[in-house]
Amino acid sequence: MSATARPRVVLVTGAAKRLGREIALNLARDGWQVAVHFRDSVEEAHHTSAECAKLSGNSKSFRTNLANETAVQNLLPSVIAHFGHVDAVVNSASTFEQDSTATFSFAAMEKHMRSNAGAAILLAQSLHTHIVQRRSDAVACEADETSEGDEPRKASEPQAQGVVINLLDQKLWNQNPDFVSYTLSKAALEAATTMLALALAPAVRVVGVAPGLTLTSNLLSDEQFKQRHKLALLDHSSTPADVAATVRFALENRSITGTSLLVDGGQHLLRFTRDFSLM
């Protein structure tokens, strides 16, 4: 990055802890200024933001309930007000609660759809509006700076292009009957990745990243996690570092849009009749 180029700014949802935190820190190490979104994890979010600031020079945490449509619509403008601009959004935050076809309810489906799919779509919409405005402002600025009779001045940086990264799940390619509402919401987000890529091009690219079993949970013992993490063609599934590196790659490769990158050691090619946590 040249000395005169703008710093790259990314909003990472769910960045206070777990996978979102790893993504935020990885990007901060690479020079990205990170807006750390969180809902309830106040101390963890401030800690992550402080670490990101040490790495890239600027970071701030933003508290938002992604199930609230108005709050989501206000999130990106708040980030822009602090950083001046935003280049990318990583939709990492996710509601993950167990239900089955026997316990399924509209309420459970709506809860997952709002935070896992609806919020991601609204943030992509907001980023597109912002990038289009930046492009328009750049054109107007160049016109103002070109005096009559002069050749148009070459742009000092590439035309702005935004990026949206949607965190998916290998289980979309390897379905089982567990976590019905969660799976439906991620399937909706995977479909939205394609639809948004078509609708928002060329100003915004949209890419899905689908991890396998990456982190343990309260549903698994340490030994169970180790065993199930090995259930993959490569004898290991994804690590947080693997997923974060893939997110960074997708952010920086200007020729990728409308597709999903599976980072799971080949787990999606195997057949699991139950979710890892319920085997």
In tens, the pLDDT along 124-169 reads: 999 999 999 999 988 888 777 654 455 554 444 568 999 999 999 9
- The residue to which tokens 């982190």 are assigned: 215
Among 275, 163, 175, smallest CA distance to 209 is for: 163
Determine the Cα–Cα distance for residues 9 and 251; give it in Å rounded to an integer. 11
DSSP letter for 208, please.
E
Higher pLDDT, 3 or 76: 76
pLDDT of residue 139: 85
Structure tokens at 28: 């901060």
pLDDT of residue 155: 45
Show Cβ contacts of residue 198 under 8 Å, excluding neighbours closer than 6 positions: 258
Instruction: Please write down the long-range contacts of 60-64, taking CB distance under 8 Å and 24 or more positions apart.
Output: 60/35, 60/36, 61/16, 61/35, 61/36, 61/37, 62/11, 62/35, 62/36, 62/37, 62/38, 63/37, 63/38, 63/39, 64/37, 64/38, 64/39
Mean pLDDT of the residues in the chain: 93
What domains are defined for the chain?
A: 9-95+103-139+158-278 (3.40.50.720)
The per-residue pLDDT for range 186-240, each reduced to its tens digit, is: 999 999 999 999 999 999 999 999 999 999 988 899 999 999 999 999 999 999 9
Q: pTM for this structure?
A: 0.94
